[in-house]
Structure 1
Amino acid sequence: MISFYLIFYGLDMMLVSGQCQINQQSVLIQLKKELQFDSSLSTKLVSWNPNITDCCTWGGVSCSISGQVIGLDLTNETISSEINVSSVLFDLDKLESLNLAENYSP
């Protein structure tokens, strides 16, 4: 009985996303400002709105249970700018996955 509970508890922890931490939201808004993309063709970056306080609900954003951004899926967002070493992207220190496939190359 205990092992069943632990398995269920573990699955529940993987499926639940936490409320975005304010510093994480701030970094994502700064990242959006850094990136050059066509907002008329974007489906994810255009949803990054500072008035929607839970950035874990924004398109392409995955969060841990503690509200840290752990994944960004920015595929096919028409991003045409480079991400350099001084980008705020590197302030997302819990980021585990980043997908930039199918964007424009500069």
Structure 2
Amino acid sequence: MLARSAPASAAPGATPLLVSAFDATPFAADIDSSKARCLPEVDLPAVRPYLDAQVASAAVVPLAAGNAPALLLLGAHDAERFSPELGTLLLDRLARLVGAYWHGLVAG
């Protein structure tokens, strides 16, 4: 599953959405990866349906492989927030923390 939050244009109090793996086809390689990545500008159109349409930079954060793989998409209006030239150490740590929590929820 690809988890995403409600877009900025959604009504106040809108709940996060879960998108099935079928909708995550553009991110199939990222789901199987263990490394976060900042997307180049040419890849932004693929994430705009899941994030605010005004997103100027984005990162894909896999939450670990296993029985319930997931992705966290992060977007920013700042074009330099998630730049491919930046390192991903913080994003990889975030992936481990959120992934552990996610898999704890799924395991029940």
TM-score normalised according to structure 2 size:
0.24
Q: Which has the higher strand share?
A: 2
Q: For the pair shown, which has the larger CA radius of gyration, 1 or 2?
A: 1
TM-score (norm 1): 0.24
